[in-house]
Amino acid sequence: MVTGATAPGKKSLQTTLEISRAVKAYYGGVQAAKQEGKPIVWSYGLIPREIFHAVGAPVIYLEHLPLLMSTKQLSGRYCQIAEEEGFSRDVCAFHRCFIGCAAEEEKHPYLAKFWAPPDLIVASNLPCMSESKSFLYAANHFNCPYFFIDAPINIWGKEIPDYAVEYYAGQLGEALDFLGGYGYRLDWAKLKEAVALSRRLVYLWREIDEYRKAIPAPMGIVDGLTCAFPLIQLPGTKLGVELYERLRDEIKERVENKIGVLEEEKLRLLWIGVPPFYNMGLLNYPEQYGAIVVKSFVEYLAGGAFDPAIMDPEKPLESLATKALVDIVNPTYQNMIDFAVQTAKDFSVDGQIALVKRSCGLIPGVLRLVKDAVYQADGIPTTIFDLDGMDLREYDDAATKANIDSFIETLLDSKRRG
């Protein structure tokens, strides 16, 4: 259902279309594997994807399927089904949507394009309680075995101590043993290759980010969100690297030719929190004021905000463990706050739009911290308001736009006054 209040977002890049096709092909591959009788893995939490690619396991990630449902305005329907199954409206709408997809008896034709039931589950508590708990429903519903990976929170900052790396890496090894028990045998050479490819992917992502800092912005948030797919789901694959090489080339050309999304950029904004996937058009809404949303924090939520030099293909499990634990989404939040301050500065933003997704246990808790830190560092203001980017039923278009209008008008006004 597309209501008057929802509209698709505008994309400007050729590579974005290729990545969209890669998404469809990815799920096509999972469904083909199911038909061949291969066990399908469902994975929850930000477990390093490289382990699955290294053993050739077809995986559906919780983080992505609800997002696809939301782009077709189906997330509210699936949240509703989960609530009928006994889940509170206060728990994460991503997870409710996923649970709803699992529980629906006759799959909606759009869901059917991406759907494959699980044979195995590999879950983790990184970064939030939702990740660590909602999979229990699926394990029970489909009666399938699961392996749980416990991630220590990051209380250390940029340097993760050996005992924590060892603990997490050990569990990744056990998860690989678990997968091995279902036919997905580990070949160490492949795992090392996956880590090397993953490192290359993050280097490319950082190079792309460097171009994205240009004024005018060569690429906006709608493209950015689609283009985050390889970072989130394809680390450790050749395909991910190829797609980012193409993206890098395309964006480089735009920057060299000074092609921006907007002809005249009056304001540059950063988007913090879950964007309304059911109404991506909202992300273009500020453009009528000459304001461009240059970047979304969600793009970093599964990696890409760390120094890829920490990855050493010769120590694959330790590298993946370090990468996971140092990730900015792993509480506690000093890394995320530092990163937010740096990003706001590097992208030359004038203001930040931060959303409270009421049902999220993670992001709302850091908004005040990020707001204060970014303001103290560079005087950049942040507006914070309610918007559940996943559950369309919670969306109030008029209130959302009024919040954006007043924030942008204030920013423009203060810019005029110098």
Partner 1 sequence: MSTIDTMRDILHNPERLVADWKAQGKKIVGYRCIYVPEEIIWAAGMWPYPIFGTPEAITQADSYFQPCTCEFIRNIFDHALDGKLNFLDGLVLCNTCDAVRHLYDMWITYIKVPDCHIINNPQKMYDESGYKYYCVELKRFKSEMENLSGNGISDESLQSAINLHNQTRGLLKELYSLRKKDPPLISGGEALDIVMASMLMPKDKCNQQLQQLIAEVKTRESPKTRGPRILITGSIIDDPTLIQLVEEVGGVVVADDLCTTTKYFWQEVGQNKDPLDALSRYNTERCLCSCMHPPERRFDYLWELIEEFGANGVIYFNLKYCHPFLYEAALFREKLAAKDVPTLMLEVDHSLSGLGQLRTRIQAFIEML
Task: Report angle CA 51, 58, 130 to the nearest 5 degrees.
Answer: 70
**Six token digits for residue 202:** 């993050």
The gap between the terminal CA atoms of the chain, to the nearest Å, is 44
Q: Which of 125, 130, 154, 383 is in the footprint of ligand SF4 by CB under 6 A?
A: 130
**Six token digits for residue 333:** 């939040």
CB of 108 to ligand SF4, least distance (A): 22
Is 275 in contact with 221 (CB distance < 8 Å)? yes
* 364 interface partner picked from partner 1, ligand SF4, none, CB below 5 to 8 A per type: partner 1
Residues in the chain: 418
Q: Which of 92, 293, 353, 355 is in the footprint of ligand SF4 by CB under 6 A?
A: 92
The interface with partner 1 within residues 296-335 (CB under 8 A) comprises 331-334
- Alpha-carbon dihedral of residues 44, 47, 53, 54, nearest 10 degrees? -140
Q: Which of 270, 363, 384, 387 is in the footprint of ligand SF4 by CB under 6 A?
A: 363
Alpha-carbon Rg for the chain, nearest whole angstrom, is 21
**Six token digits for residue 282:** 């909202």
Pairing of strands 146-149, 120-124: parallel
* 94 interface partner picked from ligand SF4, partner 1, none, CB below 5 to 8 A per type: ligand SF4
Rule CB under 8 A: say whether 211 interacts with partner 1.
Answer: no
In terms of Cα–Cα distance, which of 229, 189, 203 is closest to 61? 229
Q: Per CB under 6 A, which region of 127-135, 197-205, 224-232, 240-248 contacts ligand SF4? A: 127-135
CB of 204 to partner 1, least distance (A): 32
If one counts every other C-beta atom within 10 angstroms of the C-beta of residue 154, the result is: 25
Rule CB under 8 A: say whether 14 interacts with partner 1.
Answer: no
Distance in angstroms (rounded) separating the CA atoms of residues 84 and 59 = 27
Is 370 in contact with 48 (CB distance < 8 Å)? no
CB of 357 to ligand SF4, least distance (A): 6
Q: Which of 6, 73, 74, 131 is in the footprint of ligand SF4 by CB under 6 A?
A: 131
Q: Report CA-CA distances (Å) from 102 to 72, 106, 138.
A: 17, 10, 7
* 103 interface partner picked from ligand SF4, partner 1, none, CB below 5 to 8 A per type: none
The interface with partner 1 within residues 113-132 (CB under 8 A) comprises 125, 128-130, 132
If one counts every other C-beta atom within 10 angstroms of the C-beta of residue 29, the result is: 11
Query: Which C-beta is closer to ligand SF4: that of 119 or that of 131?
Result: 131
**Six token digits for residue 232:** 């989130």
Rule CB under 6 A: say whether 197 interacts with ligand SF4.
Answer: no
In terms of Cα–Cα distance, which of 21, 101, 91 is closest to 61? 101
Q: Which of 26, 94, 229, 271 is in the footprint of ligand SF4 by CB under 6 A?
A: 94
If one counts every other C-beta atom within 10 angstroms of the C-beta of residue 36, the result is: 8
The interface with ligand SF4 within residues 254-293 (CB under 6 A) comprises 274
Distance in angstroms (rounded) separating the CA atoms of residues 65 and 69 = 6
The interface mask with partner 1, positions 373-402, x = CB under 8 A, is -----------x------------------
Q: Which of 359, 382, 400, 403 is in the footprint of partner 1 by CB under 8 A?
A: 359
Q: Which of 8, 21, 113, 150 is in the footprint of partner 1 by CB under 8 A?
A: 150
Rule CB under 6 A: say whether 42 interacts with ligand SF4.
Answer: no
Q: Per CB under 6 A, which region of 3-11, 13-21, 124-132, 158-166 contacts ligand SF4? A: 124-132
Residue position matching structure tokens 């507006």: 383
Distance in angstroms (rounded) separating the CA atoms of residues 54 and 194 = 6
Residue numbers of the site for partner 1 (CB under 8 A)? 85-88, 90-92, 95, 125, 128-130, 132-134, 136-137, 140, 148, 150, 152-153, 155, 163-164, 166-167, 170-171, 174, 331-334, 356, 358-362, 364-369, 372, 384
* Binding site residues, ligand SF4, CB under 6 A: 92, 94, 127-128, 130-131, 274, 357, 360-363
